[in-house]
Structure 1
């Protein structure tokens, strides 16, 4: 089973930093600070981040982006609020929108990370499982990375469309889902890529539900999130980061092979495994209308108490 050893280094980052000679220097025309610390998950969602770093897109913008791996985006939330990391990539929108509503974090979305695409996250069961249809999931134990979040939100919507009951969710980090499924600790797992394909190959797990099917097709699931304080204090830095990510997202969209080349470098998958992974969609721009689909679904399922206008959260 894939082993992902990842920790968040809770170290505050200095505001300054040396600019690169071939990029804008900090000052009137360049970023206010060159060093950005980004907490990131080992998911296919983050491919543009690594592409931007690998191809010098951040450097061209005068940025020194330092990536710190984390197992769950929620782990990095305290560090973001304290300024110990500047941005969280693959930030699960549900968690951060809830934190924003509660007043525990003043969220700003720098850029979209990924949107749902067919089979980029699936509900998997053991090959010999008695669970044969979505209706059989009612009352069964299903592993998700974080409770009351994007996985359960989207699966609940799919089940509601089919008119069937909900499972019981269990919080299990992505790297531990395989062992939990093998040991019978859960009946099914809701796994995104690259864990989805790995579990199918290594455990011969069977796809029960396409997590990218109607009514959640193309719905935004993650983004690059910072705080209002950071965005206000460093607007040129934020804009430079946005430009690099937008360029990388365009590359990822136009050349999926570039993503597949990146995955083995940070997601602990082999080049052969990377060839068959189902990739999410990588939007170049952030669409508040699409984000509204997510907030409306959250409100419907009780994960938000009042309507949210996503446009007010975007860093422009």
Structure 2
């Protein structure tokens, strides 16, 4: 929206967008300075890179937080799995192992007093076929694949992947490096203003998001009208982001706590 509505241009910014399948793929390019920022960068991946010393990251803006049914656990319509407890020891597909999907779902499982599933790594575009063929018992899938699988195979929602206790948890952000942030403070302030403007448009008119999705993703206009959108936060909130880093520490995805407040570009 910021690009399409000229918000970057209004701020005097020349923003060039390169598409990637996963934010993990952009990590080496960001580290080498080949790109300046990763949009909608998966926090889990980048906090782990921060701890390992692969990157010294800075968060320019929040991208999305979890919203109802923007990610679901789906099972075949005739599956004998009727509850989260029934998934104990069964095969559940996630896009990347030991990342945000298993992190958040483990908390849902614990909240309901159930046992963990066995996670299997399957890319989102292949999850529908894997479910149909019985290669896995369930899939943990995000929009737009979520709605598409339900439409195409009649799969049913077992549980909302954004339900308690991980409702509204931050999932991704606009991430740059400390080196870039230090040398480009004015440009990043302008970028933040443009993003805030885009978020305001999205909040006032969700159809603006639905209209723009088919222009830079493989989502069709029909799918875009039906999918459940995430939350687009208007401001950064270190306390909310800390919910995620605290879970990462709790589940062993981080060895030491990370204070997100020290990483925000003010």
Alignment TM class, shorter chain as reference: over 0.9
Alignment: residue pair count: 266
Corresponding position of 1:80: 30
Once the two structures are superposed, the pairs formed by residues 198-213 of structure 1 within 5 Å of their partners are 198-213=148-163
In the aligned structure 2, how far is the partner of 1:84 from the partner of 1:203? 41
Once the two structures are superposed, the pairs formed by residues 224-235 of structure 1 within 5 Å of their partners are 224-235=174-185
Q: Runs in 1 of length 4+ with deviation above 6 angstroms? A: none
Once the two structures are superposed, the pairs formed by residues 276-315 of structure 1 within 5 Å of their partners are 276-315=226-265
Structure 1, gaps ≥5 residues long: 1-50
Corresponding position of 1:120: 70
Once the two structures are superposed, the pairs formed by residues 214-253 of structure 1 within 5 Å of their partners are 214-253=164-203
Once the two structures are superposed, the pairs formed by residues 33-182 of structure 1 within 5 Å of their partners are 51-182=1-132
In the aligned structure 1, how far is the partner of 2:10 from the partner of 2:252? 43
Alpha-carbon shift at residue 272 of structure 1 (Å): 2.1
Please state if 1:186 is matched with 2:139.
no
In the aligned structure 2, how far is the partner of 1:170 from the partner of 1:71? 19
Deviations 1:37-65 (A, max 9, x none): xxxxxxxxxxxxxx111111111111121
Contact 1:260 1:271 in 2 (8 A): yes
In the aligned structure 2, how far is the partner of 1:253 from the partner of 1:140? 39
Alpha-carbon shift at residue 182 of structure 1 (Å): 2.1
Deviations 1:14-56 (A, max 9, x none): xxxxxxxxxxxxxxxxxxxxxxxxxxxxxxxxxxxxx111111
Of structures 1 and 2, the one with the larger relative CO (CA 8 A, separation 6+) is 2
Alpha-carbon shift at residue 192 of structure 1 (Å): 1.1
Alpha-carbon shift at residue 311 of structure 1 (Å): 0.5
Contact 1:122 1:192 in 2 (8 A): yes
In the aligned structure 2, how far is the partner of 1:71 from the partner of 1:186? 22
CA RMSD of aligned residues (A): 1.1
Q: SS in structure 2 opposite 1:209?
A: strand
Structure 2, gaps ≥5 residues long: none
Alpha-carbon shift at residue 267 of structure 1 (Å): 2.4
